[in-house]
């Protein structure tokens, strides 16, 4: 059985998560949501709760702020999986002082041997101004490199703008 990987990329509030959720919901496979967000404050808790309510009970949620690759390797066989999102994962990896490039390379290697349909959500952070501080620039650079690597490894890439999908790679 052939499995498919899709990267859904876009800016904040571009509609990428809803679009990605609908891609997964169209599958007749069991649905798994790999969540990378962490509720460090009330506002983020509200955002996470909003996502959970929108998804409903049809999804199995696995919280994986750092170990996304391990979850993909061990917990997702035969499922339709949504990994939301790469940029939060990168933030978590940076905060934990892990090697971001190594983790993204590991993910890209896994994409070649998937045993699930995987939809990946990521923010395009490189369309704005150059950040004023070194940490923000490092994050922007890590995210940009990761998006390029993941896009190259995925079967399909969709760029979201104002709720509209632009199909950039694949069918």
Number of structural domains found in the chain? 1
Per-residue confidence (pLDDT) for residue 39, from 0 to 100: 77
pLDDT in tens, 49-101: 887 787 778 899 999 999 999 999 999 999 999 999 999 999 999 999 999 99
Q: Does the pTM of the predicted model rise above 0.85?
A: yes
Instruction: Judge whether 26 and 75 are in contact, CB under 8 Å.
Output: no
pLDDT in tens, 5-57: 999 999 988 999 999 999 999 999 999 999 998 777 888 888 878 877 877 78
Indicate which CATH number applies to the domain containing 128. 3.40.50.300
pLDDT in tens, 123-142: 999 888 888 999 999 999 99
Q: Which residues are catalytic?
A: 51
Contacts 24+ apart (CB under 8 A), 103-107: 103/68, 103/69, 104/145, 104/146, 104/149, 104/150, 105/149, 106/69, 107/68, 107/69, 107/72, 107/150, 107/153
Any idea which residue has 């404050």 for tokens? 41
Instruction: Judge whether 4 and 169 are in contact, CB under 8 Å.
Output: no
Domain with 46, as residue range(s), is 5-169
């Amino acid at each position: 059985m052939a499995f498919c990987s899709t990267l859904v990329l876009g800016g904040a509030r571009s509609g990428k998560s809803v679009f990605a959720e609908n891609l997964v919901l169209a599958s007749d496979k069991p649905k798994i949501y790999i969540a990378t967000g962490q509720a460090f404050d009330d506002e983020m808790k509200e955002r996470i709760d909003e996502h959970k309510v929108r998804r409903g009970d049809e999804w199995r949620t696995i919280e994986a702020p750092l170990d996304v690759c391990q979850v993909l390797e061990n917990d997702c066989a035969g499922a339709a999986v949504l990994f939301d999102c790469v940029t939060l994962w990168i933030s978590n990896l940076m905060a934990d002082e892990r090697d971001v490039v190594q983790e993204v390379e590991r993910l890209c290697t896994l994409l070649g041997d998937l045993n699930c349909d995987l939809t990946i959500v990521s923010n395009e952070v490189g369309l704005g101004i150059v950040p004023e501080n070194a940490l923000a620039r490092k994050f922007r650079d890590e995210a940009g490199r990761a998006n390029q690597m993941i896009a190259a490894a995925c079967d399909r890439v969709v760029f979201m703008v104002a709720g509209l999908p632009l199909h950039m790679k694949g069918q």
